[in-house]
Amino acid sequence: MGNDKNIWELAEAYLDNKLAEQERAAVEERRLSDSVFAAEFQDCINMLNAMKGSGEHKQYKQALKEVHEQVVNVTDEELLPKTIRLWRNNWRTAAIAASIAILTSLTTFWFAQHNNKKIASQYSLLRRDLETYKRSQNKIIGDIKRQASTPELEARYTGTGFALTNDGYLVSSYHVIAGADSVYIQNKDGEYYKADMVAFNEATDVVILKVEHEGFTFNKQDIPYTIAKNKKKLGSRVFTLGFPQDEIVYNEGYISAKNGYGGDSTQYRLDIPAGPGQSGAPVADASGNIIGIITGKESESEGTTYAVASEAILELLSTLPKENSIRVPATNRLSRMSRENQIEKLEYYTCAIKVYKK
């Protein structure tokens, strides 16, 4: 217990810069040589930082609330326009003053900066650990399986998928990944990322996957399209981007029937060329919104393709438990663009899906 107290005292003094040079050096040395101490010491420091950071955060929030009350009261009393104009005129000065204030704060609070970075790194460390843990677990499973079945053969399927959120949720066809041992996506830059299944509906042939890579995003900007809630009209012009080959392929066509194969009302029948590998590809309307997912084609006639209507995606999303709910993109930024530019944007959010099976 005495030891316990000691390490906290040390950590606190260390953070507050109150250690004498020699003591500090001793701590640094011990951190290098004694890994148990180092880990515990780091935990203590993180804890103290979190407490301090949280305290400052709370105080700032409180201050903001008070300022808000003040500001609102001023507005409510309808202070004369003159005053407002005065503020407006001073805005630039205020901005400069604020920047100076921020600069000043940098020097005063370089410590705090120190703190927060460490919190962040602690976060990623923790996650990385979990990740390696998971990976090793997969490996174990893989090994057991390999012993049971024939090891050499490793069949491979490909499909297409598209982003549902910028941070890694994506949609594809369930049949693409059904029975897979592992699923990888390949993004626009050709990089591979492992994806896990989040939810699926075999009947409508929709699957939701999540790229598990830390910090993964499809693009710098948020998803630029929405998911249509209702079925589009017969004859609507549509286009699709998919991966029937290694390179992304564009096709366009129209809705040729409101119901799909065998009158399936969850599907569309499209007149659009599609090949193997395009399962899971997004079908977009003229303004770039997603109206469906390519799922299959008629084997006898070339050009007849079936797509699951996008309602099925929303339906699947609504079955997710609340804590895992996914925010669907709500804004469209493609509608006024030329088709070429729409495609250029969409390419970032469309990916090849590689499925590994034994």
Partner 1 sequence: MKLAAGDRKVMELVYSQHYRFVCKWIGKTGGNEEDAADVCQESMIVLYEKAKNGDFELTCKLSTYLFAIARNLWHKKLQSRPKGFVAMEDDEDLNIEGNYEDDIKAHHERELHYAQLDKALAQLGEPCSSLLKSFYFKNSSMQQLATDFGYTNADNAKTQKYKCLARLKKIFYNTQVK
Site residues (CB under 8 A) for partner 1, limited to 316-345: 327-333, 335-336
* Residue of 16, 39, 59, 245 interacting with partner 1 (CB under 8 A): 59
209 C-beta neighbours (distance < 10 Å), count:
26
Q: How far is CA 151 from its chain centroid?
A: 34
| Nearest distance from C-beta of residue 149 to partner 1, angstroms | 33
* Residue of 16, 32, 34, 61 interacting with partner 1 (CB under 8 A): 61
Total number of residues that touch partner 1 (CB under 8 A): 74
Query: Which DSSP symbol is given to 231?
Result: P
Q: Does 15 bind partner 1 (CB under 8 A)?
A: no
Question: Would you say 25 or 72 has its CB closer to partner 1?
Answer: 72
The answer to whether 161 and 200 are in contact (CB under 8 A) is no
Q: Does 68 bind partner 1 (CB under 8 A)?
A: yes
| Nearest distance from C-beta of residue 72 to partner 1, angstroms | 8
Determine the Cα–Cα distance for residues 347 and 339; give it in Å rounded to an integer: 12
Determine the Cα–Cα distance for residues 254 and 355; give it in Å rounded to an integer: 30
Question: Would you say 83 or 245 has its CB closer to partner 1?
Answer: 83
For residue 348, the SS3 value is: helix
Query: Which DSSP symbol is given to 303?
Result: T
Backbone angles phi, psi at 115, to 5 degrees: -55, -55
Q: Does 153 bind partner 1 (CB under 8 A)?
A: no
Q: Does 67 bind partner 1 (CB under 8 A)?
A: yes
Question: Would you say 256 or 335 has its CB closer to partner 1?
Answer: 335
Question: First-to-last CA distance in the chain?
Answer: 55
The answer for residues whose C-beta is within 8 angstroms of residue 201's C-beta and 6 or more apart is 174, 207, 312, 315, 316
The answer to whether 334 and 225 are in contact (CB under 8 A) is yes
x/- binding map, residues 265-304, to partner 1, per CB under 8 A?
Answer: ----------------------------------------
x/- binding map, residues 158-197, to partner 1, per CB under 8 A?
Answer: --------x-------------------------------
| Nearest distance from C-beta of residue 257 to partner 1, angstroms | 27
Beta pairing, strands 350-357 & 182-186: antiparallel
| Nearest distance from C-beta of residue 320 to partner 1, angstroms | 13
| Nearest distance from C-beta of residue 311 to partner 1, angstroms | 11
x/- binding map, residues 95-134, to partner 1, per CB under 8 A?
Answer: x-xxx-xx-xxx-xxx-xx--xx-xx--x--x---x----
Stretch that binds partner 1, among 85-93, 180-188, 195-203, 262-270 (CB under 8 A): 85-93
Q: How far is CA 1 from its chain centroid?
A: 44
Q: Does 38 bind partner 1 (CB under 8 A)?
A: no
* Residue of 63, 203, 234, 320 interacting with partner 1 (CB under 8 A): 63
B/e letters for 32-63, b = 16+ CB within 10 Å, e = fewer, are eeeeeeeeebbebbbebbeebeeeeeeeeeee
Q: Does 39 bind partner 1 (CB under 8 A)?
A: no
Token digits of residue 76: 């409510």
Determine the Cα–Cα distance for residues 42 and 47; give it in Å rounded to an integer: 8
